[in-house]
Structure 1
Amino acid sequence: MIKQGIDVLTLTRVGRRYGDTVALDGVDFTVPENTYMSLLGASGSGKTTLLRLIAGFEEPDEGEIAIHGERIDGKPSHLRDIGFVFQNFALFPHLSVSENVAFGLRHRAHAPLTNETEIRDRTEAALKLVGLDGFGHRGVSAISGGQRQRVALARTLVCEPRIVLLDEPLGALDANLRARMCDELKAIRERLGVSFLHVTGSETEALTMGDEVAVLAQGRIMQADAPDTLFGAPRNAESARHLNAWNIFDAALCGNAFGHGQIAVRFDQMDVTAIGNAPDARPALTATYLTGEFNGPTALSFFRAEDGTLLQIVDHLSQPRLPDLVEGTRYDLHFASDAVRQFHGAA
């Protein structure tokens, strides 16, 4: 895991249950100082519960949460010095941009500000930081979705939190705006020097945004690594599955080449040939071609293995490598031995 000095946030054996349902199961997790951390998880993985525990909206059933070594579980949320940016922005529609940003300074529980000059200066500085200098007089209903996102961020940053939590912060934006906000969020975080914990269900967003990416599944952290390490070398099947780039299947489909357990091969590292024509030196399995999907610069082909497993192969159209495929026809899918990740036991 990447370490940049001390850890700003530490979770130790944190658990949370709702009746018989285990949402978090002894989570150990750290966010280093001055880091953009992405937390990747599918719906139901426990990622929203994890954020709520850190923020103080709920309390863990077991374990400890600390910021800079100081235990914060059990403290009220407004005394944790944590910023929280919601997916729906949670702005006050009847207040102007400046009034929304200044709200936390005026009404925070600890040492609220009363000096109007200081409030104005800090509000203007926060708006300038997020690229909204001169927008303070506008109503929040009169600005774009991306601008509202930045108002929500400015409202959080103006109170100088020790860490900022972002709950699916780009989910309410269209695709073009999401891409632009990715760059802007990273630039703002770097200028501020505060750690961000960005929760998302999008593997592309997580890998693009994070200095480090943690995968949360089944209530546990499956892996936390630099994006290129996670993408290229997932340590277990759950990590690979969340990246939406790896075929995961039973090793027995390839005969005796890999023994027992599961293996994974990336979509772009599998090739296709007629039955019986796979190169001798390459492991292979037989699968039936189902259909294809055109995605602009790439094409995705879908196959069904003999045990029912769905497999995908991506072909880059600038350098196509797949033959013409006929639906319902069986083919050999082959790959280099060093392209394989092998997993034994449970994820």
Structure 2
Amino acid sequence: MTSVLELTGLVKTYGDTRALDGLSVSLPENQYISLLGPSGSGKTTLLRVIAGFEKLESGAIRFAGSQINATPPHRRGIGFVFQNFALFPHLTVQENIAFGLANREADALTDAREISDRVRSIIDLVGLSGLETRAVTQISGGQKQRVALARTLVTEPKMVLLDEPLGALDANLRSRMRHELREIRERCGVTFLHVTGSETEALAMGDTVLVLDRGRIAQKDKSDAVYSRPISADVARFLNCYNLFSGRIEGDALITAVGTLPLAGLRQPAASPAYAIRHDRISVCALSEQAQPDEVRPDEVRIEGRFLAEEYTGSAIYSFFALDDGAVFEVETHLSHRSRQTLEPQSRYALVWKKEDALVYA
């Protein structure tokens, strides 16, 4: 697969903080790429470095086959969609979109008909027909998002950077815009690099998902691989869908504060031992229905916890338990797969999963 962007050894510091710490990655062309990471991991810094808004201490950026470290932002051929949209409030939808064509430093268009034709084409592409003469103060958040994207796409960039583009939208609109952004990208045939702090958004949108941790790429893979096989305990933690245990390994078991966990399943190399089990891989059983510890099936793992509370989302229930060491343990039950259980607050339950469903870092 052809790369559109190659980053090698990027270092960017702010005082004593290394926002980018020798980051290297190659991004394929014509894909939707999600960049996921916790707050402070360097996500926005990376976008701004690629766009040329921030200067590197060291490292190389190659875009479309050429090194662009010294190339000014407006000559890189890379579009940028800001989190707050950065629209001109005194201009109409059409005027906002046309602004870059008529006012850019290089190859500014002067032919009004050509500008009008290109703006009309991009308005149709992003679904803004009928709103051309509206002030941007008179349109919805989702429509503002499309205007910001259209203003970037009309200049025909080879790559588009999106900094938390759905963060300012309500939940229903975010869900709809996910689908629309992917469709628009496919019609344009350019690479989108979409920064988000939401694991759900990153997995839903990315053909490829990058996980950023402390200024470096911790994992790069397809979304289903990142979700099912996070490469480290830190990545599993960022995904917010795994319960994690630490401890020491003795033989074929991890000794933890809540008991002995037999080791099986997928193993990943790691500096410190850790054990992860996904929230939706766990069953909750009444103690009276569950075998005693010495009678547990050989392919299962069992611990106990005190039920605290649950959260109902319509399609699923998230149940929270306190383990004997005080840690909170989460179980996700999809109601299309199982009937809803009635759990008694403060009562103890067995939490059971298959050994092979766990991920072991050791």
TM-score (norm. length: structure 2): 0.89
Conserved? CA contact 1:277–1:332, under 8 Å: no
Instruction: Give the alignment's Cα RMSD to 1 decimal.
Output: 1.8
1:234 paired with 2:224, answer: no
Letter in 2 for 1:284: R
Question: Which string of whole-angstrom CA distances, capped at 9 and with x for unpartnered residues, describes residues 283-328 of structure 1?
Answer: 2233332222222221111122233332100122344378643333
1:271 corresponds to which letter in structure 2? S
> 2:36 maps to what in 1?
40
Amino acid at match of 2:313: N
Q: CA deviation at 1:276?
A: 5.7
Q: Residue by residue, what CA displacement relative to the aligned partner does 1:259-303 show, whole Å, maximum 9, x if unpaired?
A: 981111110111233276463311223333222222222111112
Work out whether residues 40 and 206 of structure 1, in 8 Å CA contact, stay in contact via their aligned partners in 2: yes
Q: Does 1:286 align with 2:287?
A: no
In the alignment, the residues of structure 2 paired with residue 343 and residue 263 of structure 1 have an alpha-carbon distance, to the nearest angstrom, of 6
Alpha-carbon contact 1:86-1:169 (below 8 Å) kept: yes
Partner of residue 199, structure 1: 195
8 Å contact kept, 2:202–2:209: yes
Partner of 1:70: 66
Task: Give the distance between the partners of 2:14 and 2:291, measured in 1 at CA.
Answer: 53
2:331 corresponds, among 313, 319, 325, to 313
Residue 267 in 1 paired to residue 265 in 2? no
State which drifts further: 238-247 or 146-155.
238-247
Quick one: distance in 1 between partners of 2:350 and 2:255?
15
Q: Given the alignment of the two structures, is residue 98 of structure 1 paired with residue 101 of structure 2, yes or no?
A: no
- Contact 1:249 1:263 survives alignment (8 Å): yes
> Which AA in structure 2 matches 1:316?
H
Percent identical among aligned pairs is 50
The more displaced of 211-220 and 275-284 is 275-284
Count of residues paired in the alignment:
340
Counterpart position of 1:133: 129
Q: Deviations over 1:229-283 (max 9, x none)?
A: 1111111112211221111112423416239811111101112332764633112
- The structure-2 alpha-carbon separation of the partners of 1:19 and 1:328, relative to structure 1 and needing over 3 Å to count, comes to same
CA–CA distance in structure 1, aligned partners of residues 349 and 134 of structure 2:
61
- For 2:80 and 2:335, locate their aligned partners in 1 and report how far apart those are by CA, in whole Å: 42
Q: Please list, as runs of the form range in 1=range in 2, the aligned pairs for 1:247-258 lying within 5 A after superposition.
A: 247-250=243-246, 251-253=254-256, 254-255=259-260, 257-258=262-263
Normalising to structure 1: TM-score of the pair? 0.93
SS in 1 for 2:255: helix
Question: Are the equivalent residues in 2 in contact too, given 1:12–1:29 (CA < 8 A)?
Answer: yes
- Distance in 2 (alpha carbons) for counterparts of 1:111 and 1:298: 53
Aligned-partner Cα distance in 2 for 1:320–1:133:
45
| Residue aligned with 2:22, SS | strand
1:161 aligned residue: 157
Structure 1 unaligned segments of length 5 or more: list them.
none
Q: Secondary structure at the match of 2:186?
A: helix
Check whether the contact 1:249–1:309 (CA below 8 A) recurs between aligned residues. no
CA distance in 2, matches of 1:29, 1:148: 32
Q: Does 1:173 align with 2:169?
A: yes
- Out of 101, 110, 114, which is 1:114 matched to? 110
